[in-house]
Structure 1
Amino acid sequence: MDRGDTTGPIVQVRRRVKAGAEQIFDLWTKPDLMVRWMSPFPGTVDCKASCDLRPGGAFSLVMSSEQASREVSGTYVQIDRPRKLVFTWMGPLTNNVNTLVTVELNPRGDETDLVVTHERLPTQAIHEGHTKGWGNILDHLADAVSKDA
């Protein structure tokens, strides 16, 4: 899929997190931190992560639960620390099609408004699952931040 293609369903999930944008940006971009929270499954987080944080650099995730495992990979498109991160996202649940995820961080005092937008999903049928998955991911991120406080 071409980067200019904006067709298909869009998932957008928002959270206000009690942490600074720099801290949250690090959680999204450092593998040793990503493994603590990056999971679309409720409950315990089990994740393996690697990333090459630069435009065009690749990342890969293996997120597991007792019932299932999800492998996802992508490349970084835009890195604007600590405000914005844009990357492709591809795995079995996107029909192995490159989709696009934008993470926006907007500081609000000692908190940060976090907006995740997932575009170019190949079918409406996967919209609900991705909405739940991103919701769980952001819940885990908020838990990871609160454990650091």
Structure 2
Amino acid sequence: MTDTMNELSLTTSRHINAPAKAIYNAWLDPEMLMKFMTPGEGVTVPRSKTDPKVGGGFEIIMLTPDNNELPHTGTYKALDPHSRIVFTWQSNYSPDDSEVTLDFVEKNGGTDVTLTHVKFLNEEARDNHEKGWGLILQTLENVLK
């Protein structure tokens, strides 16, 4: 791994008009993940499973419009109810030690969600993930309305 990979990170935020508890729980519920983990036009999630405990894992299978399966897996490193989730993020487009942190802060009748993702293979992968995470947060807000 190069130093550049270690330095590449992204942070994206969104205010979602839902309580932190609902947003936190959505990230741990396989049925909910299938509804909002769609990082691009026409991408669906036909299968998802979670074991929401520290040390437990998850698997999210994304399906592209041309029927390519994109498996994403990870391990939960921290679960602080309704305030923070930290997990590893493994896919064909990320190094093994890539990590995502979600912070939830209730504010103005909703929740500020901040997603930080660290370690990428290259700048293109980081930029693609930044777009994808932004769409995922937008879809999550729509699902929770």
The equivalent residue for 1:137 is 136
Structure 1 stretches lacking a partner, 5+ long = none
Q: 1:101 & 1:51 partners in 2: Cα distance?
A: 16
The equivalent residue for 1:87 is 87
The equivalent residue for 2:100 is 101
Shift in alpha-carbon separation, 1:111–1:61, aligned structure 2, 3 A: same
TM-score (norm 1): 0.87
Task: Quote how far apart the aligned CAs of 1:44 are.
Answer: 6.1
CA RMSD in angstroms comes to 1.8
1:15-47 deviation line (CA, Å, top 9, x unaligned): 000000000011100112111111111356434
The equivalent residue for 1:50 is 49
After TM superposition, the structure 1 = structure 2 runs for residues 5-20 of structure 1, keeping only pairs within 5 Å, are 7-20=6-19
Asked if the contact 1:42–1:136 (Cα under 8 Å) also holds between the matched residues in 2, the reply is no
Structure 2 counterpart of 1:106, one-letter code:
V
Structure 2 stretches lacking a partner, 5+ long = none
Q: 2:137 & 2:30 partners in 1: Cα distance?
A: 16
Structure 1 counterpart of 2:121, one-letter code:
P
Question: Could you say what secondary structure the match of 1:93 adopts?
Answer: coil
The equivalent residue for 2:24 is 25
Moved more, 37-46 or 77-86: 37-46
Task: Quote how far apart the aligned CAs of 1:57 are.
Answer: 0.5
1:87-134 deviation line (CA, Å, top 9, x unaligned): 000000115x23000000000142000001000123223111011110
Q: 1:55 & 1:37 partners in 2: Cα distance?
A: 22
- Matched residues, number: 141
Moved over 2 A (4+): 42-47
Asked if the contact 1:10–1:127 (Cα under 8 Å) also holds between the matched residues in 2, the reply is yes
Q: 2:124 & 2:43 partners in 1: Cα distance?
A: 26
The equivalent residue for 1:125 is 124
Asked if the contact 1:38–1:47 (Cα under 8 Å) also holds between the matched residues in 2, the reply is no
The equivalent residue for 1:76 is 76
Asked if the contact 2:43–2:63 (Cα under 8 Å) also holds between the matched residues in 1, the reply is no
